[in-house]
Structure 1
Amino acid sequence: MKASELLLTRQSSPRLTTPAPTTEQLDFILNAAARVPDHGGLTPWEFIIAQDDGLTRLAEIFVSAAKKSQADEALIEKAEKMPFRAPLVITVVAKTQTHSKVPIIEQHIAAGCATMAMQQAVFSLGLGAVWRSGDFAFDRNVHQDLGLHDNDQIVGFLYIGTPTVTAPIKSLKEGRQFARFL
């Protein structure tokens, strides 16, 4: 797939199944993430990979957080199923630090760029992915159970697998409609 085609046809693949990426493909995906712009070379990200038993552990973390927030039974049941939407889930965490030249927001953006690079790498392999966030990305109980620190922030959950359906390509938004020249 040409880079130009990848950039102009990218879209989420919300229905995913096995197979997950191979070990070699996962290495390519993670290496793509590590190539994003990174002012100061801080590498302000961590990738927590859930696959197989890891999906069960992630479900337990979501259920525990839902119960601690006194969610209703429907939300607890949904939380238990969420990680199994794909055979592999990468939780992307912004691991920020105080730096005189690199503000925290720039470090969050770098982690977001890493997520986008992984999603693009997934598509270039002929696989599918969907980047989700939601309440659990901001839930301190989830953060604690994942071993995150107070200044860490989940940027999103990248669900990866093989698409079960071929979604129609969305119409292209003309970028100029969002541009303003000075």
Structure 2
Amino acid sequence: MPQPAPAVLDFLQRRRSCPAKMLGLPVPGREDLMPLLQAAARSPDHGKLEPWRFIVLERRALQRLAALAGECGHALGLAPEQVEKGVRQYGDAHLAVAVVASPRASEKIPQIEQHLSAGAVCLALLNAALAAGWGGNWLSGFASHDRKFCEIGLGLAEGEFIAGMIHIGTAPAQPVPERPRPDLEKIVQWVAE
């Protein structure tokens, strides 16, 4: 017989990311952040490969990455407004956790399953932050897909990539704006036979 956890289900049905530009101080310290990382690390991981890792980025590191994002954006020939958006993602932030997909060689576990596990870690970290009372947002952006940025800025090895940048901070006092949600009638298919 199922053992329901209605408070958890209610949280999941109402959860809402906070736009990163609305996140403020304070941010979680190491003691506050470790339980969130521990919760994220409990994500599904077929084969127990741990095909992901965390890089906690504090303010000075984020400012350094903002400058690098600007350099990389200009080198890629991106539009000035796109470069500026990428710079601000890091420059305006006070704390972010880079969830790094770090696939392992395995004869049994395909790369795609390892990539999906890294995505599950991103959502678990975001939900853990929200459940702990922080505001949070999962971002990517051009810089997180740029090899130079990943290798120089974060020291990623060949084959590693950023699954997501989870920004965590204090949510504003005013309610976070809601966004349209999927229409289940359009995306659910029931198969009986």
The normalised TM-score by structure 2 is: 0.84
Find the residue that maps to 1:17 and give its secondary structure.
coil
Change (3 A) 1:168 1:66: closer
Deviation at 1:168, TM superposition (A): 4.9
**8 Å contact kept, 1:48–1:90:** yes
**Pairing 1:98-137 to 2, within 5 Å after superposition:** 98-137=105-144
Larger Rg: 2
Counterpart of 1:167 (choices 169, 172, 176) is 176
**Pairing 1:1-182 to 2, within 5 Å after superposition:** 2-14=7-19, 15-145=22-152, 146-164=154-172, 165-168=174-177, 173=182, 175=184, 177-182=187-192
Unaligned runs of 5+ in 1: none
In 2, Cα distance between equivalents of 1:139 and 1:63: 12
Instruction: Note the alpha carbon deviations across 1:145-180, whole angstroms, 9 max, x for none.
Output: 121122112111111111123225557656565232
In 2, Cα distance between equivalents of 1:6 and 1:54: 32
- 2:160 partner letter: D
Deviation at 1:73, TM superposition (A): 4.0
In 1, Cα distance between equivalents of 2:79 and 2:180: 38
Find the residue that maps to 2:126 and give its secondary structure.
helix
- 2:148 partner letter: N
**8 Å contact kept, 1:9–1:169:** no
Q: Alignment length, in residue pairs?
A: 182
Unaligned runs of 5+ in 2: 1-5
Q: Using the aligned pairs only, state the percent identity.
A: 33
Find the residue that maps to 1:150 and give its secondary structure.
coil
In 2, Cα distance between equivalents of 1:85 and 1:152: 26
CA RMSD of aligned residues (A): 2.1
**8 Å contact kept, 1:29–1:121:** yes
Change (3 A) 1:78 1:173: closer
Instruction: Note the alpha carbon deviations across 1:97-138, whole angstroms, 9 max, x for none.
Output: 221111111111111111111111111111111111122221
The normalised TM-score by structure 1 is: 0.89
